Amino acid sequence: MSETTARETISRKAGANYAEWIEKHFNSIRPFGKKYDLPLRDIFVKVNIFETITAQQEISPDALQKTFDYDRKGFGITRKTAGGIEAVSRNPKLIVLGKPGAGKTTFLKYLTLRTIDGKLTGNRTPIFIGLKEWGDSQKTLLDFIVQQLEVCQFPEPKPYIEHLLKKGIFLLLLDGFDEVSGNVEEAVKEIQALAENYGENQFVLSCRIAAWNYAFEKFISVEMADFDDEQIKTFINNWFGEEHTTANNVGIN
């Protein structure tokens, strides 16, 4: 067997190992109050995003008078939303901001599954990185990524993963920047350096909007929108299935 064929065989086996691991760890979620897991693919509700961040909006008094939304639930400026998946597909470096409990982690896990399924543009391999776990590990970000991919059983994993990073095959999902422990400024520098050194890869970073006060070059920031009535209904029906009394109790069904 030639060296090239051997490497291709190892890559296929490693890819199969990794896809199996992703399936096991990312497609099971236990809704509150249930005693069993449900497949995330089945219960996920599509995410909408604002491409203008609430805290960054600037508007004149005249414009405010023209655009104010008097809807009883809104009481604010009407902003158009776009699909979260579409925003990821359009932007190679994206920051997803949102309120606590907005579903940022679930969204990034769903992106991980969609990428494994080949349903995101770019034909990439996802790497989900919990930034709290990274901070607690005290490893460099590159070493932490290598650790995440040890499940693939690459021989000499670090050089090979660096090779793959240079090729730009990855979608790096960096979850929970607001939970980074230790020196946050150093964390910013490491993430920025990774994005610059391996710029052919795609990056999605999530953070609580109230904790966001940083700038990453070439990253586009978006904000997760609250669910509308239809999304709320879908969410409850997906999570509670045929337990319609639960949905009725909150006035959705």
Residue 242's pLDDT is 56
Residue 86's pLDDT is 92
Report the distance separating Cα 181 and Cα 129, nearest Å. 14
Report the distance separating Cα 218 and Cα 192, nearest Å. 9
CATH 3.30.70.260 fits 11-249, yes or no: no
Residue type, 236: I
Sequence length of the chain is 253
**Per-residue pLDDT tens over the stretch 174-217:** 999 999 988 899 999 999 999 999 999 999 999 999 878 887 88
Give the side-chain half-sphere CA count within 13 A for 7.
9
Q: Which one is predicted more confidently, 27 or 12?
A: 27
Report the distance separating Cα 161 and Cα 159, nearest Å. 6
**Per-residue pLDDT tens over the stretch 38-62:** 899 888 888 888 987 765 544 444 5
**Per-residue pLDDT tens over the stretch 156-180:** 788 888 999 999 999 999 999 999 9
Query: What's the pTM?
Result: 0.80
Average pLDDT over residues 80-96: 90
What lies within 8 Å, CB to CB, of 38 at 6+ separation is 28, 29, 30, 31, 239
Query: What does the domain layout of the chain look like in residue ranges?
Result: 11-249
**Per-residue pLDDT tens over the stretch 108-138:** 999 999 999 999 877 899 999 999 999 999 8
Average pLDDT over residues 7-23: 74
Neighbours of 177 (CB within 10 A): 25
